[in-house]
A = this chain, B = another copy of it.
């Protein structure tokens, strides 16, 4: 299988099957392509923080999942090393948010991805930047050995 789009979809299926976290958050995978992923998540009442808006951790989790699907879309096992999120507007309970991830750059085993979290009106709620690192092995086959992540 050498078609990049088919590889991306195969890697996403393999990852999704084991991704209890994204499933439990009500996340849906809308689209995956080489270096890209689009996910959505409804903001549920259980996600509200002490200020009455969507807890930053859930905005982050949505963005982080989009990052994970995008950076694993080449079917090379890849983990996040560091991430930065900047909050621009609060997320409202009841809204379904969209996270759009894309690769900005890659050098050797390291990559940088951008994720935008937007509300139903298309306003950017948060910008996320993730640094990825390939750790060896494929998503669609068992890992070669216990993963050393650093």
Contact = CB atoms under 8 A, between A and B. Distances in A.
What is the interface of chain A mostly: helix, strand, loop, or mixed? Answer: mixed
A137 B147 CA distance: 24
A50 B80 contact: no
The quantity of this chain's copies bound in the complex is: 4
Interface in A91-126: 104-110, 112, 114, 116, 124
A139 B64 CA distance: 29
Contacts of A50: 14-19, 22, 68, 72, 139
Interface stretch (A1-9, A30-38, A81-89): A81-89
A50 to B, nearest CB: 4
Which 3 A-B residue pairings sit nearest by Cβ, starting from the closest? A57-B61, A21-B55, A15-B50
